[in-house]
Chains A and B, each alone.
Chain A
Amino acid sequence: MDEPALIKAAQRGGLDSFNTLVLAYQDILFNTALRIMGDEDSAADATQEAFLSAFRAIKSFRGGSFKAWLLRTVTNACYDELRRQKRRPTAPLEPETDDGEEMETPRWMADPAMSPEEEAEADDLEHAIQHCLDELPLEFRTVVVLTDIQGMDYKEAARTVRTPLGTIKSRLARARLRLRECLQGFWELLPAAFRLEEEGIRT
């Protein structure tokens, strides 16, 4: 894929060229949105909105990392979507038990109609991590997603969220500390292979 050529063609209005770029980056953008938003439907909406905004604004792209530029677009789309959801909340974030008390474990994320096996599968590492990510303030979550999940370096992350490098360092350290605290509560839920791996690191 000749990315610069495709970008130039897209800047001239070539939708086919832009769609080639969409196919190349849609997984990355969707995963970023998924980790920031916490649910697939909202993530898909934000991703679609991000690509739409990117096409409209592609003439303003002046070189550099196209991936970082797209990630900034999807981050903005997520912020917009979250703001919109906050204005018009549709469902409570935490479900309640029959007694009206809020559920605290990640087991609430499992479908009650699931079989025990499926339930065990649903209570896996991914759900535990997502739950902990959701607990983070939005700006911390975004930095963690960009650096630890998308593998960006600090400078790229700083450019993406338009924040000074020092703030990125600070937010990342705080976010990792909070995540550590949160994940300690779900240690038993981690897959056996991962636990062994982590135990190996410890020794």
Chain B
Amino acid sequence: MTQTPSFRDVEKLSAYLDGQLKPSEVARLEARLKTDPELASVLQDLRETRGILRQLPQRRAPRNFTLTPKMVGQKPPLPRTYPVLRFATVLATLLLFFTFATNFMAPRLVRTAAPYPYGIGGGGGGGGDPEAALEAAPAEPAAPALEAPAGKEPTAPEMPAPAPTKMVPPAEDSARLEPTPGPFEKSGVQVTPTVETLTLQTVPDEAEQAKRLVRPISAMVQIMLAGIAILSGLIALLLRTFAIRQWRTKAK
């Protein structure tokens, strides 16, 4: 008897071709194949299809697919001193920049913190109106001046001990501003500095003081830090290069 094979039959025929059926199933199927030409025809079709697929040529890989250490993220083993040296380089560099910054900023900070008690130089936009300049001046520096005994020269808090005043007004400026009423006049303290006294008090210490204020961190320290940064950086670089070269040679 011949009937159109079902998908289940096709599945069995396919498995039969590959030897994936149980012996009992094989016997039953072979018996049917003898009597059912349509089933035999489907088997033949499947066999041919499989034969065609097996005829496909195996291509050679177009290139080698070997992996490199870089592809898999492998890194050469670096000596233990390497991170220490790298840290030293970074630290020394940062400190070096810090010293430069400190030396650069220090004089400006001191100038900003210590106001001119007499409005000398006009202080930016207040040059035209001495009254306005005085009012704009911070209140803190005036306080110690008020506590000072009458007739004594008021001193700015930041000023070093040997020098009574930090800033030295040029003689002509002082002369020009002499009649300007000081902040102490407003508060009732009688302060009338003259050009003569200001010049006498400040000029001898000026050079030394300015030198100290401009460079709070010495050049020696900076040279030392630069040396550490360069030397440790170079050693770290050499160690790394040597380690990578050794690792690559070993990998080959």
Considering only CB atoms and an 8 Å cut-off, how many residues of chain B contact the other chain? 37
Contact flag A15-B251 (CB < 8 Å), given A26-B65, A52-B71, A183-B52: yes
Closest to A18 in B: B67
In the complex, chain B residues whose CB is within 8 Å of the CB of A19:
66-67
- Interface of A, secondary structure class, is helix
In this assembly, does B56 line the interface, its C-beta being within 8 Å of a C-beta of chain A? yes
Closest to B57 in A: A126
Contact B14 A30 (CB under 8 A): no
Extra pairs beyond A55-B67, A180-B49, A197-B51 (9, CB < 8 Å)? A15-B74, A22-B64, A22-B65, A22-B66, A27-B60, A129-B55, A129-B56, A174-B7, A176-B14
In this assembly, does B54 line the interface, its C-beta being within 8 Å of a C-beta of chain A? yes
B contact residues vs A (CB 8 Å cutoff)? 7, 10-11, 13-15, 18, 20, 44-67, 69, 71-72, 74, 251
A contact residues vs B (CB 8 Å cutoff)? 13, 15-16, 18-19, 22-23, 26-27, 29-31, 34-35, 40, 44, 47-48, 51-52, 55-56, 125-126, 129, 144, 147-149, 153-154, 169-170, 172-174, 176-177, 179-180, 183, 190, 194, 197-198, 201-202
Checking B7, B57, B60, B65 against A47 with a beta-carbon cut-off of 8 angstroms, the contacting residue is B65
Contact flag A51-B74 (CB < 8 Å), given A15-B251, A125-B55: no
Closest to A125 in B: B55
Contact flag A148-B10 (CB < 8 Å), given A52-B67, A56-B72, A194-B55: no
Contact flag A27-B61 (CB < 8 Å), given A179-B53, A198-B48, A201-B51: yes
User: Lowest 9 A-B CB distances belong to which pairs?
Assistant: A173-B14, A148-B53, A19-B66, A30-B61, A173-B11, A180-B49, A26-B61, A26-B65, A176-B49
CA–CA, A115 and B199, complex, Å:
104
In the complex, chain A residues whose CB is within 8 Å of the CB of B51:
197-198, 201
Give the distance to chain B from A125, nearest Cβ to Cβ, in Å: 6
Give the distance to chain B from A177, nearest Cβ to Cβ, in Å: 6
Contact A180 B57 (CB under 8 A): no
Closest to A147 in B: B18
Closest to A56 in B: B72
Give the distance to chain A from B246, nearest Cβ to Cβ, in Å: 16
Give the distance to chain B from A72, nearest Cβ to Cβ, in Å: 17
In the complex, chain B residues whose CB is within 8 Å of the CB of A154:
15, 18, 20
CA–CA, A37 and B108, complex, Å:
71
Closest to A49 in B: B65
Closest to B47 in A: A201
In the complex, chain B residues whose CB is within 8 Å of the CB of A125:
52, 55-56
Closest to B252 in A: A16
Give the distance to chain B from A197, nearest Cβ to Cβ, in Å: 8
Closest to B58 in A: A31
In the complex, chain B residues whose CB is within 8 Å of the CB of A56:
72
Contact A173 B18 (CB under 8 A): no
Contact flag A23-B64 (CB < 8 Å), given A173-B14, A180-B46: yes
A selection of 17 A-B contacts at a CB cut-off of 8 Å is A15-B74, A16-B251, A19-B66, A22-B67, A29-B61, A30-B61, A40-B62, A126-B56, A126-B57, A129-B53, A144-B53, A147-B18, A148-B53, A149-B53, A170-B11, A174-B7, A179-B53
